[in-house]
């Protein structure tokens, strides 16, 4: 009787799961760093995102990849609007000179699904990205507006930006915890792939978290969820993948494991650093070559053999989180697409508010 009662409790808990509801804003710019400030390469990005269980419709569950429903599976859906701006080494050329990256801007809508298997410490993430490349992405207007506010010179080189093209991409990512994790650190293997009209690439690498955090496999950002308290049972612990218990202190790896994990993933705060080191094979870069569905040629993009296809990049995050508010400061560095001996970077402010 007790056994069936526990099974019913777990089933009801799974059925009553509600994904976190949040608003997220990300601003990326080269001025958000102490050194290397310049209007070149990837110079500005804005992302506005909303996460809500209403986005979990039947259609999305079919075209966005994830785990099948089951014990320990948590699904989170989001909708975002994103603008990215790219400029050459000298952003004040009136026309693209054919020797450097062209001016380019994109404006897209991003529909995403994060599917987490908490017991196995695995996670799938998939996105459908639809949008436009070219003048209608408003890159020139935004950059010159910011320059006007900062009393800097106007950027006239947008007259030679890449022409109008359609963006239709599908992105998929996979993350899995490695057995090197400890109570205050987490080591994850991360891989991603993109295919479509704008970007075709494959990347893989490691993510290392150090500090006080909940868990990367309860949702995409380890968010506090006031609408659903995660409760881990002894049967959950018994189904953990080999090595999953390495993240527990030794004294909790026996009968106290379930209680310890439940308390940890429901605590109201996080403070941690996260470092990611990735390698990427860029098969096709629409920001350099233009869209594969180009409506207006405009300025010609670079040829396929004019830029580096093997790339490396790294990011360092500092995250502070308390209940409804999460703030992340991020520094990103990568090697130049065109000049392999040079690296460039930018900073990001990432603010997430639960509601």
Mean per-residue pLDDT for 257-263? 90
Q: What is the pTM of this model?
A: 0.90
Predicted confidence at residue 5, as pLDDT, reads 44
Q: What is the pLDDT of residue 77?
A: 96
**11: which 2 tokens?**
């089933």
Q: Which helix (H) or strand (E) holds 171?
A: strand 165-177
pLDDT at 95: 60
By CB neighbour count within 10 A (0-12 exposed, 13-18 middle, 19+ buried), where does 148 fall?
A: exposed
Mean pLDDT of 316-334: 96
Most confident segment among 216-225, 283-292, 332-341: 283-292
| Phi, psi (degrees; rounded to nearest 5) at 228 | -150, 120
CATH code at position 275 = 2.40.128.140
Print the domain residue range for 116. 2-354
Domain count, the chain: 1
């Amino acid at each position: 009787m007790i056994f069936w009662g526990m099974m019913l409790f777990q089933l009801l808990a799974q059925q009553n799961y509600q994904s976190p509801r949040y608003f997220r804003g990300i601003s990326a710019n080269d001025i958000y760093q102490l050194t290397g400030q310049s209007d070149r390469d990837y110079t500005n990005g804005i992302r506005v995102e909303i996460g809500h269980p209403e986005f979990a419709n039947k259609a999305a569950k079919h075209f966005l990849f994830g785990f099948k429903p089951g014990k320990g599976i948590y699904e989170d859906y989001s909708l975002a609007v994103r603008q990215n701006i790219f400029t050459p080494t000298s952003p004040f050329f009136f026309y693209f000179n054919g020797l450097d990256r062209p001016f380019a801007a994109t404006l897209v809508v991003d529909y995403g699904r994060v599917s987490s298997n908490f017991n196995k410490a695995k996670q799938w993430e998939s996105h459908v990205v639809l949008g436009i490349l070219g003048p209608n992405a408003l890159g020139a207007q935004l950059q010159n507006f910011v320059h006007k506010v900062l009393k800097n010179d106007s950027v006239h080189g947008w007259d030679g930006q890449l022409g109008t093209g359609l963006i239709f991409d599908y992105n998929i990512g996979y993350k899995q915890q490695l057995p090197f994790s400890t109570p205050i650190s987490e080591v994850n293997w991360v891989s991603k792939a993109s295919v479509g009209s704008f970007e075709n690439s494959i990347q893989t690498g490691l993510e290392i978290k150090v500090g006080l955090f909940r868990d990367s496999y309860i949702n995409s950002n380890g968010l506090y969820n006031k609408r659903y308290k995660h409760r881990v049972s002894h049967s959950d612990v018994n189904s953990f993948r080999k090595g999953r218990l390495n993240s527990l202190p030794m004294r909790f790896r026996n009968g106290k494991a379930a209680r310890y994990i439940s308390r940890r993933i429901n605590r109201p705060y996080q403070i941690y650093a996260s470092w990611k080191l990735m390698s990427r094979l860029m098969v096709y870069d629409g920001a350099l070559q233009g869209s594969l569905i180009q409506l207006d040629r405009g300025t010609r993009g670079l040829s396929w053999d004019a830029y580096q296809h093997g790339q490396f990049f790294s990011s360092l995050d500092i995250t502070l989180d308390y209940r409804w508010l999460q703030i992340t400061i991020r520094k990103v560095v990568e090697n130049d697409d065109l000049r392999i001996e040079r690296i460039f970077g930018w900073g990001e402010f990432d603010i997430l508010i639960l509601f």
